[in-house]
Structure 1
Amino acid sequence: MMLTAVGRDPNNQIFPIAWAVVDCENNPNWEWFVKKIKADLELGLGENITLISDMHKGLIHGVATELPMAEHRACARHIYSTLKKSNKADMLKPLFWRVASSFNEADYKENLAIFKEFDPQSCQTLLRKDPSTWCRAFFRVGCCCADTHNNHTESYNRTLKIARRKPFVQMLELIRRDAMQRVATRSTIAAKETAKYTKKARKELEKSCDEAQYCAMITSKGGEFEIVEFGTGYFVNLSARTCACRKWDLTGIPCRHAVCAIREMNYEVEDYMSDYYLTEKWQGTYRRGLRPVNGPKFWKDSGRPRIAAPPYKRPAGRPKGKARIKGLNESPRKKKSDKKVGREGRVMHCGLCGEAGHNSRRCPHESSESRAKRIRLNGEPGQLEAQDQSEMEAAFAAMEAPGPEEPEAGHRAEEPEVQDVSSSAPQRSWVERMLFG
């Protein structure tokens, strides 16, 4: 089993942090992995750390033991997979994600009430999970991340598909080279950026600016404002950089309500973005890359035992193959395209006469000789059995009948007729071959 930890850079891209190979996922292995990351990155007790993962018990135990002060979020996609087992309705997915994507408690309660009205049993199952781990309305502010899923980890695991097919040492070397190339490539891209903030942050800000056209501002004192949107008021504090919708608080990018207040005061919107998205910090993330390593030919013998893979333990169930195992609802079945012609409504045409309404096996214009030849060569269900049965009865009748008189002495018996065994000539049935050789 491979344990991985990835982060996200200011441009919302994958940054590999650590990876390790263990014999299985259990409490000691996850605790050891988290402990190594904690020591290398000097995380302390995890006061300013946010983690997102699936709800594996070993991982939960490792984080709770080594990083007790960290915010440990649960992947909402895995929670939805659990709900999908009991309810297959298509409306369940959008209703669930509206609840998980609620930025504040007011929206959370409203969307939860709609979800409960649709399926009370699924709502009861959902509330067994602590909402503070999978709903944005209860996330800790300050991390500039509002993600409710760990798709970054799943995407990174997908890139390791080829490496996992290699032997142990070669696999680790391929992963290291992939990480080295990734850091070098991103460093080159970041060095060419001339704007103050990253491209991803600017796109999110442009989206907020477009949505701000439906907002109106009512001025107060001390940098406080009330933004009215479709009859609902939102309290905005530019000094504290907070908004009642909590989107600005979680992401660090001004929401549409904050953009409305900033524009009305003739301020620059970009000045109110979090420093996390600065291009300078993006470039600093990739300033130090992985150094090249000589191949095994140049490695010195340390005198210690050779590195080998852990003892293989065959997992229960059917082998899953080399590809990454996808979740139950991770990649739903694609719908048929409107341009693709299916079998439904298709008119059948005969391959012999070309007319519609029948196939070549039921063609009324086929001659009797052609039909008999086709049956003899290809056979049709039920007819070969009837033919073999009739031939068998005829063979047994011939065995019971009195045989011909023996030829006189000095006379030579007639030689059997030479049979044509070409592919076009009719072949003897298996009954004749069994009885007469």
Structure 2
Amino acid sequence: MRDKPLTRSCEVVPILKRDYGLDVSYHVVWLGVEKVKVIIHGDHSLSFDQLRWYSDAVMRYNPGSYVNIDYDVSNQRFYRFLVSFTVCIFGYNSCRPLLFLDGPFLKGKYKGLFPVTFAIVDSETTTNWSWFLHELGNVVDGKRQITFSSDRNHGLLEAMPKVFPSAYHSYCLQHLKNNLRDRMKGIDNGFRDHLVRSLGNYAYEPTVVGFHEMLEKLKEEEWGMRYGDMTSNVAESFNNWIKKARNLPITWMVDAIYTQLMRQMSARRGQANKWNELICPTFETMFLDLFNDSRSWQVSKTNEDVFEVHSILSVTVDIARCTCSCFKWKINGFPCDHVVIAIQKSHYNLNDCVEYYFHVETYHAAYSGAIFPIPSVEKLPFDPTDFTIYPPIVKKSPDRPKKNKIPSRGEKLKQIRCERCDKLGSHNR
């Protein structure tokens, strides 16, 4: 269990049989696994109270971070928790203002949600999304125009315009496709797939004219700077990244994610220290590919700034204004193939036409900080007489109605034992 925390009880039973020749019942194995989890990771219920110590430790060892733990003062029940490390706060200023919002469910004993921005709440409600976005506003730089990308959660749709009224809110294309596919159940599969593919073509079309040609009606509204990202896959990747951590008690879970962040920041900082170019290597390679794809095109010079590129369709490139009539330069924030070939005929430097977000210097700035360790050796032992934050009350799903039947003698005895266990204060699985 220490090496593989996600090991299930049903997997332990055959291991004990195969390696030790032991025939152990599933119930006994389940009890053993639960006890081992408490020994290794601590008790799930006590872990909520340990968030207080963890919050103080974060601010002590990583000053400038932002932490907020919210609980009901009357019954001392946990509500919500949010943490943003100082290196993430300052590193965001060196990244494009495009934020992805998503919420994977936790796998521990107490249900909850873990959004990509390190908040833990009980469910995706309008109240919780409003609280989270309000806290997020205390972390991110509000001077920049932010574009949010999400899966169109109902609570988020209500909260976003109230907390970030001037921000753009774009929807994940993959979720839109899935919604469209679900709404067309019963329709011929071939025709349905054709419509879903067409939706993708509409979304990726960079020009209004091309969009009108494929879709007769276009509602003119601000989509914000998507930077070529039409899905929230980056958020889904983060969810997969924290897959193992979601099974741990809440304080251990936050600490496990913090450890992963610390390692990633260090690895990327070390990688960037080896770069000597002006532009990040990935985009240097993209430049070369774009030039190879466009070098057979003819370029006509209008003046020192404006060029006409004769590709499959002719386009106009205005280098001084950073525009191309294909609109890809504006959408991606990175020169398209038309711009790359036009610059070859101009006095401009290609590197100067790239947004600073793609520069090595900016990458260095994003990962220049370090997340410092939070040692648990100084953590005080749990004192039951002290003020304690308890876990939230988990609502059980309603039981399915069962048909009335006469219980057998064995079922009667089982019911009697369960009632007796309850009277003794124990829990019978």
Please, which of 103, 109, 130 is the counterpart of residue 206 of structure 2? 103
Equivalences for residues 146-157 of structure 1 within 5 A? 146-157=228-239
For 1:372, the equivalent position in structure 2 comes to: none
Task: Find the aligned partners of 1:227 and 1:298 in 2 and give their Cα distance.
Answer: 66
| One-letter identity of the residue aligned with 1:102 | E
Task: Find the aligned partners of 2:390 and 2:363 in 1 and give their Cα distance.
Answer: 37
Equivalences for residues 214-293 of structure 1 within 5 A? 214-221=296-303, 223-230=305-312, 232-265=313-346, 267-293=348-374
Q: Is the Cα–Cα contact under 8 Å of residues 149 and 172 in structure 2 kept in the other structure?
A: yes
- List per-residue Cα deviations over 1:369-410 (Å, max 9, x = no partner): xxxxxxxxxxxxxxxxxxxxxxxxxxxxxxxxxxxxxxxxxx
For 1:21, the equivalent position in structure 2 comes to: 120
For 1:82, the equivalent position in structure 2 comes to: 179
Alpha-carbon deviation of 1:308?
4.3
Alpha-carbon deviation of 1:52?
0.8
Report how many residues are paired: 294
Task: Find the aligned partners of 2:150 and 2:96 in 1 and give their Cα distance.
Answer: 21
Alpha-carbon deviation of 1:297?
5.0
- List per-residue Cα deviations over 1:247-305 (Å, max 9, x = no partner): 11122211111112111226432231111111011011111122211216524889974
Alpha-carbon deviation of 1:238?
0.7
Task: Find the aligned partners of 2:293 and 2:205 in 1 and give their Cα distance.
Answer: 17
SS of equivalent to 1:41:
coil
Task: Find the aligned partners of 2:150 and 2:399 in 1 and give their Cα distance.
Answer: 24
Please, which of 131, 137, 145 is the counterpart of residue 32 of structure 1? 131
For 2:262, the equivalent position in structure 1 comes to: 180
Task: Find the aligned partners of 1:285 and 1:198 in 2 and give their Cα distance.
Answer: 13
Alpha-carbon deviation of 1:64?
1.1
Of the structure 1 ranges 12-21 and 92-101, higher mean CA displacement relative to structure 2 is found in 12-21
- List per-residue Cα deviations over 1:88-140 (Å, max 9, x = no partner): 33434433221111111122223336xxxxxxxxxx9xx8xx675xxxxx643
Task: Find the aligned partners of 2:165 and 2:97 in 1 and give their Cα distance.
Answer: 26
SS of equivalent to 1:257:
helix
Tell which structure's C-alpha radius of gyration is larger: 1
| One-letter identity of the residue aligned with 1:101 | Y
Alpha-carbon deviation of 1:170?
1.5
SS of equivalent to 2:344:
helix
Q: Is the Cα–Cα contact under 8 Å of residues 168 and 309 in structure 1 kept in the other structure?
A: no
Please, which of 187, 200, 205 is the counterpart of residue 287 of structure 2? 205
For 1:407, the equivalent position in structure 2 comes to: none
Q: Is the Cα–Cα contact under 8 Å of residues 248 and 254 in structure 1 kept in the other structure?
A: yes
SS of equivalent to 1:192:
coil
Closer, same or farther: CA 200–55 of 1 in aligned 2, 3 Å: same
Closer, same or farther: CA 300–250 of 1 in aligned 2, 3 Å: farther
For 1:413, the equivalent position in structure 2 comes to: none
- List per-residue Cα deviations over 1:21-62 (Å, max 9, x = no partner): 111111111111111111122425xx5111111101211222
Q: Is the Cα–Cα contact under 8 Å of residues 168 and 308 in structure 1 kept in the other structure?
A: no
Q: Is the Cα–Cα contact under 8 Å of residues 93 and 141 in structure 2 kept in the other structure?
A: no
Equivalences for residues 3-402 of structure 1 within 5 A? 18-43=117-142, 47-85=144-182, 86=184, 88-89=189-190, 90-112=193-215, 132=221, 139-141=223-225, 145-221=227-303, 223-230=305-312, 232-265=313-346, 267-295=348-376, 298-299=379-380, 305-314=387-396
Alpha-carbon deviation of 1:11?
11
| One-letter identity of the residue aligned with 1:43 | G
| One-letter identity of the residue aligned with 2:129 | W
TM-score under structure 2 normalisation? 0.60
Task: Find the aligned partners of 1:238 and 1:260 in 2 and give their Cα distance.
Answer: 11
Closer, same or farther: CA 4–227 of 1 in aligned 2, 3 Å: farther
Task: Find the aligned partners of 1:131 and 1:199 in 2 and give their Cα distance.
Answer: 37
Q: Is the Cα–Cα contact under 8 Å of residues 96 and 357 in structure 2 kept in the other structure?
A: no
Q: Is the Cα–Cα contact under 8 Å of residues 14 and 152 in structure 1 kept in the other structure?
A: no
| One-letter identity of the residue aligned with 1:30 | W
TM-score under structure 1 normalisation? 0.59
- List per-residue Cα deviations over 1:342-379 (Å, max 9, x = no partner): xxxxxxxxxxxxxxxxxxxxxxxxxxxxxxxxxxxxxx
- List per-residue Cα deviations over 1:322-353 (Å, max 9, x = no partner): xxxxxxxxxxxxxxxxxxxxxxxxxxxxxxxx
| One-letter identity of the residue aligned with 1:162 | K
Of the structure 1 ranges 86-95 and 201-210, higher mean CA displacement relative to structure 2 is found in 86-95
Task: Find the aligned partners of 1:165 and 1:195 in 2 and give their Cα distance.
Answer: 42
Closer, same or farther: CA 4–294 of 1 in aligned 2, 3 Å: closer
Alpha-carbon deviation of 1:193?
1.6
Relative contact order: is structure 1 or structure 2 higher (C-alpha 8 Å, sep ≥ 6)? 2
| One-letter identity of the residue aligned with 1:227 | V
Closer, same or farther: CA 3–291 of 1 in aligned 2, 3 Å: closer
- List per-residue Cα deviations over 1:302-326 (Å, max 9, x = no partner): 99743444322346899xxxxxxxx
| One-letter identity of the residue aligned with 2:324 | C
| Runs (5+) with no aligned partner, structure 2 | 1-79, 101-114, 401-429
For 1:354, the equivalent position in structure 2 comes to: none
Q: Between the two proteins, what is the percent identity of the paired residues?
A: 23
Task: Find the aligned partners of 1:4 and 1:301 in 2 and give their Cα distance.
Answer: 23
Alpha-carbon deviation of 1:13?
12
Closer, same or farther: CA 290–304 of 1 in aligned 2, 3 Å: farther
Closer, same or farther: CA 167–17 of 1 in aligned 2, 3 Å: closer
Task: Find the aligned partners of 1:313 and 1:60 in 2 and give their Cα distance.
Answer: 25
